[in-house]
């Protein structure tokens, strides 16, 4: 599939066929592509916890969701819980602070305040996007969702992950259940056009499409 078509087809899928697991080779390819994401200083401060068995996913959902929410089981949660594969994307801030304390970077104080934005989270998010695009390219659907802040600690514990990691988000992956998947009503807001979001030269000067070959 051409890159442009993959990008246009990418959307958040919220219901899956639980009887069709993600082929191992597809999952491996998605993870390999994730490691090609850019990272500041080539720090690569990310980890991906892959959950494919019912027991693994159940342990995640028990930790990441409130019991009352699981009891209600609204359509969103029911649909996402049908995903046969979850990839929990963790960022490692310390990997970046240590990398930039090395001789070629020279920030020996390891001061987090010197970072204008948390690139450990940004880079991990870009890795997650590459997984989502790979899913589309392979004919699967994907969804990126977050873990509530108050559930992060116990989620890390349930995954056996270090307490200093941050759950940037979770990639759900699988074959879309077209009869149950519903597009988000938020899409009614419409996509902001390039002329509105892109600024030529300075903020407030709209980007105008350049004609030509």
Section 190-198 average pLDDT: 89
- Residue 82 pLDDT > 90: yes
Nearest to 49 by CA among 159, 149, 145: 159
- Residue 150 pLDDT > 90: yes
Report whether 7 contacts 63 (CB < 8 A).
Answer: no
Nearest to 170 by CA among 113, 75, 88: 88
pLDDT at res. 179? 67
Tell me the average pLDDT of the chain.
92
Above pLDDT 70, what percent of the chain?
97
- Residue 94 pLDDT > 90: yes
Say how many residues make up the chain.
213
pLDDT at res. 88? 98
pLDDT at res. 178? 75
- Residue 181 pLDDT > 80: no
For residues 36 and 12, which has the higher predicted lDDT (pLDDT)?
36
Whole-angstrom distance, CA of residue 49 vs CA of residue 27 = 12
């Amino acid at each position: 599939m051409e890159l442009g078509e993959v990008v246009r087809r990418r959307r958040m899928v919220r219901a899956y066929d639980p009887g069709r697991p993600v082929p191992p080779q597809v999952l491996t390819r998605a993870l390999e592509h994730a490691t090609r994401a850019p990272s500041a200083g080539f720090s690569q401060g990310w980890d991906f916890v892959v959950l494919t068995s019912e027991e693994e996913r159940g342990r995640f959902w028990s930790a990441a969701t409130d019991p009352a929410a699981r009891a209600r089981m609204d359509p969103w949660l029911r649909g996402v819980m049908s995903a046969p594969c979850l990839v929990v994307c963790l960022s490692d801030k310390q990997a970046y602070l240590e990398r930039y304390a090395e001789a070629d970077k020279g920030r020996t104080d390891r001061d987090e305040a010197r970072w204008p934005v948390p690139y450990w989270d940004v880079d991990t998010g870009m890795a997650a996007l590459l997984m989502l695009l790979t899913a589309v390219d392979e004919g699967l659907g994907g969804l990126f969702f977050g873990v509530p802040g108050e559930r992060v600690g116990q989620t890390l514990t349930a995954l056996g992950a270090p307490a200093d990691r941050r759950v940037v988000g979770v990639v759900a992956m699988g074959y879309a259940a077209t009869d149950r998947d519903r597009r988000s009503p938020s899409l009614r807001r419409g996509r902001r056009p390039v002329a509105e979001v892109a600024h030529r030269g300075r903020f407030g000067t709209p980007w105008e499409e350049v004609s030509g070959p």
